[in-house]
Amino acid sequence: MIIRRAVKKDLNKVYLIELASFPEPWSREFFAYFIEAANTVFLVAVEDDVVGYVIWMLESTSLIKPSDGLNIGHLLNLAVKREYRGRKIASSLLSELFKEIGEYKPVATYLEVACSNQAAVKLYLKFNFKIISTIPKYYRVEGDAYLMVHTLI
């Protein structure tokens, strides 16, 4: 398996995994946007074909600017093709992601995950994300979400 940056020709495969993975999937256009967006790391895991992906974006707020040296990232999406789960593909994607985002020197990366999604919550806890709070009714279908944060300071 290799992990590499996503390119346009990966879009269809990524989108099919998304559709099979989430009750409220992103649109195809969202993925197309993130392939080209600035300050974004969009990685795919490839084993013959695309079998997983992760998307991270540098957060830009009016309060904290990159020049303040306080970069914060948002882990936006992560999924692995069903037949390939349980083979450490998400773990490999996250390990590679943390290397790739090093150039932004983020002090923290945050994410939202459905409280009911035990597999993902366990994965993130393993990668030293901490549960900070619960966001009620964050998802229309899955309901409440945890806000989880990984800090480097």
Ligand X SMILES: CC(C)(COP(=O)(O)OP(=O)(O)OC[C@H]1O[C@@H](n2cnc3c(N)ncnc32)[C@H](O)[C@@H]1OP(=O)(O)O)[C@@H](O)C(=O)NCCC(=O)NCCS
Interface residues with ligand X (CB under 6 A) are 21, 78-80, 85-91, 113, 117-120, 122-123, 126
Q: How far is the CB of 80 from ligand X (least distance, A)?
A: 4
* 64 vs 123, beta carbon nearer ligand X: 123
Q: How far is the CB of 106 from ligand X (least distance, A)?
A: 18
* 58 vs 80, beta carbon nearer ligand X: 80
Task: Check: CB of residue 78 under 8 Å from CB of residue 89.
Answer: no
Using only the alpha carbons of the chain, give its radius of gyration.
15
* 16 vs 120, beta carbon nearer ligand X: 120
* 86 vs 136, beta carbon nearer ligand X: 86
Nearest Cα neighbor of 33 from 58, 52, 8 is 8
Q: E-strand spans in the chain?
A: 2-5, 40-47, 49-58, 72-80, 108-114, 130-139, 143-151
Q: How many CA atoms lie within 13 A of 112 on its CB side?
A: 11
Q: How far is the CB of 92 from ligand X (least distance, A)?
A: 7
Q: How far is the CB of 90 from ligand X (least distance, A)?
A: 3
Q: How many Cβ atoms are within 10 Å of 127's Cβ, its own excluded?
A: 17
